[in-house]
Structure 1
């Protein structure tokens, strides 16, 4: 099968993870924004209008990763995160909370999407974790981050995270 303009599989995986994030965020009722430069391990931001708690217009920033590698076991996703990203995400003094989202996708691009006249199905699942307050590591290049498989990045999960932020609770 002839490929389109994106010939690098890593770029395709990144684009699919962007679509996953945008779909979840849109259905949850929030807007997304993208920093012009990712020099602080932030790929996307999520913004809510209003809010029900003392924090108005809550926001969330996230580092978005994707992989088709087999990195899951019965209870967790074990993602090898670059040390710079780990250190950037583990700090606890940010005005806007930060999380890591890892989207697991099928290995073959032809398996990523199915569609018909009545449905569009993106195959894959995102998982999230807050690294806020995690300890400094002695590792020199990567840190394997375990993410509970119960931490699926879903519409309901994102709404719960944003509601918590509105109430002053950091993820």
Structure 2
């Protein structure tokens, strides 16, 4: 069939497309930092005063556990965890796209609509997250209400503008 992208490659690409679509709808620009050595897969940039931006580490998963006490659990590499905890001028967020387990349901194209299934959640690790020692991965807990949509992206960008993330 000539397929070049593995399933993980496709997940990564879909997470990027998801955020780029939200950013476009919000009126923001996106760019891909190269090389990615600092756990930043995508930068979202706004205009206006202070030219706010968000640096995002993008993940996608079909294995997000059911919420427990309003929190979703996601397994993150220790490198990404540490990089996202760093105090930086531009806020850094983890964005996790939840995909259906059936790959054929990830995206549907119809004459009237394009559907990318499920939703993405965001989490800032720059506050209230402890140092982790002697682990390769860490389970982060994402509030179920942290759904990343156009309105949430606008709010996060405004918080970046004011330094309140």
Task: Report the TM-score when normalising by structure 1.
Answer: 0.89
Q: Does 1:127 align with 2:121?
A: yes
5 Å-filtered alignment, 1:19-168, equals 19-51=17-49, 56-74=50-68, 75-92=70-87, 94-133=88-127, 134-168=129-163
Whether the 8 Å CA contact 1:114–1:120 is kept in 2: the answer is: yes
Unaligned stretches of 5+ in structure 2? none
How many residues get paired? Answer: 163
1:7 Cα offset (Å): 4.5
136-145 vs 60-69, greater mean Cα deviation: 136-145
Whether the 8 Å CA contact 1:83–1:139 is kept in 2: the answer is: no
Tell me the C-alpha RMSD between the 2 structures.
Answer: 1.5
Distance 2:54 2:5 in 1: 32
1:107 Cα offset (Å): 1.6
Distance 1:7 1:37 in 2: 20
Q: Secondary structure at the match of 1:37?
A: coil
71-80 vs 12-21, greater mean Cα deviation: 71-80
Unaligned stretches of 5+ in structure 1? none
Partner of 1:10: 8
1:151-171 deviations in whole A, cap 9, x for unaligned?
A: 0011000100111121232x2
Distance 1:6 1:69 in 2: 23
